[in-house]
Structure 1
Amino acid sequence: MANQQNQASLDQSQLHRDAASNQEPSQNASFLDQASDSVKTMAHGAADVAGGAASGVAGIARGAAMGAANVAEGAAGAVKNTFGSNTPSK
């Protein structure tokens, strides 16, 4: 029984190899062209994702810098109000 299953498996493998070797060269070239196009599409998608991530990080950095500047400005205003210093010192 096991021998029959092994033989059936070998026969099926041979059928797959025969089918692959009987393909026309143009079919193989078409497959390679499609695979190449798919890889290019994935590469472009990855580049777009990376570009978007870089833009997002730059936006976060700008926002953090603006926030820090606003905090510093607010702190300076609070110190001036606390000491009543609305005019520049001479």
Structure 2
Amino acid sequence: REWYSYHFPELVSIVPENYLYSKCAEYIKDRKNLCEESLEPLTEILSDSEKAKAIVDASKMSMGMDISPVDLINIQMFAGRVVALSNY
């Protein structure tokens, strides 16, 4: 959460639950790539269309810093592990 929050700090206030936060971070990757087409998958992850819309809107105005491809890969792998452990 902390590492990804440097890139997309607004996400933690929209999705405070660790499991859902990890699933969102794993799906979103680089927040700059979020668009209206991302609404359906985010709604499926969160089971909440309002939160999905809030995430897409927040990504457009985010105050987070850019993230390197290597950091993004590591975050994605770590988020995937958190999701897998939670499912276990």
TM-score using structure 1 length? 0.28
User: Normalised by the size of structure 2, how large is the TM-score?
Assistant: 0.28
Structure with the largest fraction of helix: 1
Pair member with larger Rg? 1
